[in-house]
Amino acid sequence: MEKYFETIRELNRRGFSVYMFDWRGQGLSDRMLPDRRKGYVEKYDDYLKDLKQFVDEFVYPVEGSNIMVLAHSMGGHIALRFFHDYPGIIGKAVLTSPLIDIAGSRWLKKPLKALVNIAAKTGFKDRYATKRTGDFGSSEKRFSHNRLTHDPDRFRRTKKLLKDNPALAVGGVTFGWLYATFHSIDILSGKGYAEGITTPILIASAGADQVVSLQAQKAICKRLPRAQIITIPSARHEILIETDSMRHVFWRAFDWFAETHIA
């Protein structure tokens, strides 16, 4: 939640009340492994249960069906599955850089999935799948190589949040997280699944995304009955902490969708 304080203020200025929480295994929510820096979840159904409980206990009693979701990356993936499993609760949604599939060619992903399956089934689910030290790293030189934003000030600001409170950080994903993610991607891409999601949706894609697949976002938009997509050229994965000019493009589309699209 700390990373998005700027976005929360911008939503407040637009008249929105904001309800937000950290997913299990992230932020200051409980971590699933003794080493809290390891990104892990047993299955995406756990994320769905958490979101359903959060909506039922904190949001729906106050807002009723007048709920608009803004979700990023993995959150966008979970949101789509939530809309499918619990239709009619959410009025409309904006998804930034949603995880429909990970970036990379299918020729590379096929052996990766095989490796992940083997690792997960042979006792390595809690091991790091990469040697990465987290999205924002620890070296000042990492900005020039980062895949998340072109904005150096917002990048450094987020790094400072992690430095001031290291408990917020995730060091990298495990084979277990990847195993659960690939399984959920298969569910989302299944025949008839996206076609059963009737929530009005705006997808904001990052044109220079190296984390999740832009092509998969475009493909699922064609299958979703009430979805539209915009692409922000040159934007990296974290649209909401990108440069002012790129964020302006996003907020202009957001405002149009929020004000004119009837749920």
pLDDT of res. 81: 98
| CA–CA dist 92, 257 (Å, integer) | 9
pLDDT (0 to 100) of residue 183: 97
* Range list of H helices, the chain: 5-13, 44-54, 60-63, 74-85, 106-121, 152-164, 175-188, 214-223, 244-260
> What pLDDT shows up at residue 215?
97
What pLDDT does residue 261 have? 60
Neighbour count for residue 167 (Cβ, 10 Å): 10
pLDDT at 65: 82
Q: What are the structural domains of the chain?
A: 2-260 (3.40.50.1820)
**Helices 175-188 and 74-85 sit at what angle, rounded to 10 degrees?**
50
Q: Which two tokens stand for residue 222?
A: 């064609």
Which parts of the chain sit beneath pLDDT 50? Answer: 139
Is the separation of the CB atoms in 239 and 206 below 8 Å?
yes
Q: What is the pTM of this model?
A: 0.94
d(CA 116, CA 200): 34
Q: What are phi and psi of 51, to 5 degrees?
A: -65, -40
pLDDT digits (tens, 9 = 90+) for 52-88: 999 999 999 999 888 999 999 999 999 999 999 999 9
Give the pLDDT of residue 253: 98
CB 82 within 8 A of CB 50: no
Rounded Cα distance, 171 and 72, in Å: 19
Q: Return the sign of the alpha-carbon dihedral for residues 254, 203, 174, 24.
A: positive
